[in-house]
Amino acid sequence: MSDTKEPKWRHPGRKLRELGPEALTDAELLSILVSTGISGKTAEDIAKEILDKFGSFKGMANQPLEKFLQFKGIGDVKIIRIAAAFEMAKRIVKEVLKNHGKEWNWSREQDTFLFG
């Protein structure tokens, strides 16, 4: 018998379903958007590579979409999924801040979030 345990979840989507999204790492969340890997590299491997390169979700959000093409296994469809997820997040933040009487402006050029 081996001392190493096989992970309970083979895909982060099932883990999300059973434990909730809070239980997932950033790489696991991103791998759900990446969806599929390539030969020798899982979706989670690709997600980790992207996060290592850009440092965080915030670092990713400030990149031109073309920069994601440098990652093997990332093409137009996956880039569009990621861009859509970030746009949804921006709209949620904007709505929440508006409901709290704050104005939100985002400057990609300056990599800043401005709150009024």
CB within 8 Å of 37: residues ≥ 6 apart: 43, 44, 45, 46, 73
Q: Identify the domain containing residue 19 by its residue range.
A: 12-85
pLDDT level of residue 10 (50, 70, 90 thresholds): confident
pLDDT, mean of residues 11-18: 91
Q: 106 has which bridge partners?
A: 113
Residue 50 CB-density burial (10 A; 0-12 exposed, 13-18 middle, 19+ buried): buried
In-domain check, residue 113: no
pLDDT at site 114: 42
The pLDDT assigned to 70 comes to 95
What is the pLDDT at residue 36? 94
Cβ proximity of 28 and 44 under 8 Å: yes
Contact at 8 Å (CB) between 63 and 54?
A: yes
In a domain, 46, yes or no: yes
Q: Which of 86, 90, 53 is nearest to 70 (CA)?
A: 53
Number of structural domains (the chain) is 1
What is the pLDDT at residue 43? Answer: 96
pTM: 0.77
Question: Does any domain span residue 35?
Answer: yes
pLDDT-derived band at 111 (thresholds 50, 70, 90) equals very low
18-77 pLDDT tens trace: 999 999 999 999 999 999 999 999 999 999 999 999 999 999 987 898 999 999 999 999
**DSSP-derived 3-state class of residue 113:** strand
Q: Which residue has the higher pLDDT, 65 or 105?
A: 65
pLDDT of 25 reads 96
Give the pLDDT confidence score for residue 87 in this predicted structure: 92
Residue 110 lies inside a defined structural domain of this protein: no
Q: Is residue 100 domain-resident?
A: no
